[in-house]
Chain A
Amino acid sequence: MGNGGIEWVVAVNLVIWTGLFIYLLRLGKKLRKLEKEP
């Protein structure tokens, strides 16, 4: 695999990791809201 290939792998990984973090952050926010409900 050349360097160009590796950069694509980094880009795809970056998208996956960012997606996971955004999902977890949104879940945390939703949980905080639900925990405040009586």
Chain B
Amino acid sequence: MKTILAWLLWLWMCLVLYGAFLYARPAMGFAAGQSSRIVFFHVPMAWVSMIAFLAAAVWSARYLLGGRRAEHDRAAAVAIQLGLLFGVLATVTGAMWARIEWGAFWNWDPRQTSITLSLLFYAAYLALRSAVEDAETRGRLSAVYALLGVVITPFLYFIVPRITFSLHPEPLVNADGKIDMDSEMRQVLFASFLGFTALFFWMHNLQCRLQALADRKSAHFYE
């Protein structure tokens, strides 16, 4: 990413911080109203983890259909690593908020359980990769596994929490298909979604290049 774009993103995130803490009013109906501000970080992190897992599936499909290029396999693996990072951050921030609102860090709420299952599924992807030595076989197996995630991820992120009773506040888009949130909160939340998504793609680019250099170095080492 060009330096100027990186600083623009920094400025954007500073505005998100200002919006999250000083512009948006605390949401109504919470035991500790200020705790609702975590929504501006917790929800975009969960969103980015889902984007990362879906992006990994796209790169995996490109790997399988587009001539088995190593950079597509690498891009899928890096997307899953970052998806796990953002997913863990979303789970930790959610647990912190649950302690304040529900009295315990872990409540076996459907959303808590479904994101944990999703993270375990993708942690197994990394275990699978590290278990296969041959690059071609590893790439093929990992790509098929990541494509299976396309079925599992939306089910765990969107369907399970909506068909079971949940302690969680209503989803962003509620059962009536409406966004029940005041306009300041909505503006800040969407700005945060955008900022976190850009941050993910920037980190993805850096990590892919780092991995490519590491692969190049190890190829020289074995020559």
Interface residues of A (CB under 8 A from B): 1, 6-7, 9-10, 13-14, 17-18, 21, 24-25, 27-28, 31, 34-35
Contacts and interface: CB of A to CB of B under 8 A. Distances in A.
A24 B22 contact: no
A10 B213 contact: no
Given A24-B206, A31-B210, A10 B21 contact: yes
B213 A28 contact: no
List the 8 shortest-distance A-B pairs measured between CB atoms, nearest first: A21-B10, A10-B21, A31-B209, A1-B34, A6-B21, A13-B17, A17-B13, A25-B6
B22 A14 contact: no
Contact of A21 (B6, B18, B22): B6
21 contacts: A1-B34, A6-B34, A7-B22, A14-B14, A17-B10, A17-B13, A17-B14, A17-B17, A18-B10, A21-B9, A21-B10, A24-B202, A24-B206, A25-B3, A25-B6, A27-B206, A28-B1, A31-B206, A31-B210, A31-B213, A35-B213
Nearest to A6: B21
Contacts of A9: 21
B209 A35 contact: yes
Interface of B: 1, 3, 6-7, 9-10, 13-14, 17-18, 21-22, 34, 202-203, 206, 209-210, 213
Contacts of B10: 17-18, 21
Contacts of B1: 28
Contacts of A10: 17-18, 21-22
Nearest to B205: A28
Contacts of A21: 6-7, 9-10, 13
A27 B213 CA distance: 13
Contacts of A31: 206, 209-210, 213
Contacts of B34: 1, 6
A14 B206 contact: no
B211 to A, nearest CB: 11
A14 B18 CA distance: 9
B13 A28 contact: no
Contacts of B13: 17, 21
Contacts of B21: 6-7, 9-10, 13
